[in-house]
Amino acid sequence: MIGCGVISKQYLASFDVLPDVQLVAVADLDRSRAEAAVEGREGVRVLSVEELLVDPEVDTVLNLTIPAAHAEVDLKAIAAGKNVYSEKPFAVTTEEGAQVLAAAREAGVLVGSAPDTVLGTGTQTARTAIDQGVIGAPVAAMATMVTPGHERWHPQPDFYYVPGGGPLLDMGPYYIHALVTLLGPVSAVIGAGSRLRSERTIGSGPREGETIPVTTDTHVTGVLVHESGALSTLVMSFDAVASSAHPIEVHGTEGTLAVPDPNRFDGDVAVRRLSGADWETLPVTGGYREAGRGIGLQDMATRGEGLRASGELGQHVLEVMNAVLDSARSGHRVEIASTVERPEAVAAEGVPAQG
């Protein structure tokens, strides 16, 4: 594991239950963070980044660094012959994401990408419902994520306000991975964005009160045209207090599906049928149960090239997000060059028991 910041704690909790993932070493630019992360954990070595990359015991590098470092760390790991699994976004620019995939193909190693939350029961139950025709033919979706900003709680929030961050590249992966899981790949986008404040104030930790610059859009909205013809409307904001909208709604000819927060693994899926008078909660019909961050790595360990949280999906979503920002800048619709197969559905199954 390279990068031992805030999110590493959630992965560390998963390592205790995932049967085919074993943590052998950790590294961070700031060695004290790596040491603190695995304090009291037997058998996990603290190494420098360079040592970890060439360590013979490491077959896969879990990249939990900040977005600006994702591609660089992935490329170094691939050059050392390791599989990689990166936190989202897959990279900052579409070009560097493509370089990672090309290098991995050349080296014959696997590439995985977060988010894996969409492999949980929430998004997967919604997918089963759509695949079974519960809402008829899918026509459109709406995805809404609004928050006043992560600088209120994250102690090192700089990366959220530079290219690679912003509400779209930070939170968009959850929503767009879910939309691709539900409705298939995207062929074109139209976007608009704004950034009304040029700085933000850190709200917690040792740097509380410090201001940081904003160099990316903080309210982004757009339309994703899926290859199927379905249209998704996206609202991603670090500039709004709250929303009462469902995180994702999918509209079909026979009904509307309310899909839970794709930044969570679970949550209820409800349907409002054309013939019905009220919302109906659906039973869980798909997804890894009681999953946590790291289930995508487990899926990669067991399925190899058939991994669901794949680099190809991460790269397609990265291209879509950057195209929304390009469209916002130019005022023009942008075609998407890449495509991706919907990952195989996850049948309703538990996290495999340890050992």
Ligand X SMILES: NC(=O)c1ccc[n+]([C@@H]2O[C@H](COP(=O)([O-])OP(=O)(O)OC[C@H]3O[C@@H](n4cnc5c(N)ncnc54)[C@H](O)[C@@H]3O)[C@@H](O)[C@H]2O)c1
Which residues contact ligand X by CB under 6 A? 2-7, 28-30, 33, 49, 64-67, 69, 73, 87-88, 156, 170
Taking CB positions, which residue lies at the least distance from ligand X?
Answer: 5
Q: What is the four-CA torsion angle of 99, 226, 117, 102, rounded to 10 degrees?
A: -10
Give the nearer residue to ligand X in terms of CB position, either 219 or 293: 293
- Shortest CB 119 distance to ligand X, Å: 15
Give the nearer residue to ligand X in terms of CB position, either 5 or 122: 5
Give the nearer residue to ligand X in terms of CB position, either 33 or 342: 33
Give the nearer residue to ligand X in terms of CB position, either 30 or 131: 30
User: Rounded CA gap, 1 and 59, in Å?
Assistant: 11
Q: By C-alpha distance, which of 216, 193, 232 is closest to 336?
A: 232
Give the nearer residue to ligand X in terms of CB position, either 264 or 303: 264
- Shortest CB 145 distance to ligand X, Å: 13
- Shortest CB 212 distance to ligand X, Å: 13
User: Rounded CA gap, 32 and 5, in Å?
Assistant: 11
Helix axes 94-107, 67-79, angle to 10 degrees: 20
- Shortest CB 280 distance to ligand X, Å: 31
Rounded to the nearest 5 percent, the helix, strand and coil shares of the chain are 35, 25, 45
For residue 308, give both structure tokens. Answer: 């669901």
- Side chain identity at 115, as an amino acid letter? P
User: Rounded CA gap, 229 and 36, in Å?
Assistant: 49
- Shortest CB 297 distance to ligand X, Å: 14
